[in-house]
Amino acid sequence: MASYQRPGGEIEVAFASQRNYISLYILKSEVLDRHRAELSHPSLGKGCIRYRKPDQIDFALVERLLEQSRQSTARAC
């Protein structure tokens, strides 16, 4: 699974291609919680967003999630 972490830090974001969906893991729960209302179509877990089809991905929202994860000082879940 591909992931991002700051040098010397913990993993903050990861993604994977599964058989039935594409997973994006936003491991800073404060960031994901802030956008749950915008994520009504994909399947959501504690830190996982699952897209069944690539055309369901809102790339502008993904960009905001990644940027806010980068800016956040909270610990990853």
Break the chain into its structural domains and give their ranges. 2-71
Q: Can you give the pTM of this predicted structure? A: 0.87
pLDDT at 15: 94
pLDDT higher than 90, residue 6 = no
Distances (CA, A) of 30 to 11, 12, 18, 55, 72: 15, 12, 25, 26, 9
Residue 65 — very low, low, confident or very high, per pLDDT cuts 50/70/90?
Answer: very high
pLDDT higher than 90, residue 16 = yes
**H or E stretch including 44?**
strand 43-44
Percent of the chain with pLDDT over 70: 100
pLDDT higher than 90, residue 45 = no
2-71 classified as CATH 3.90.1150.200: yes
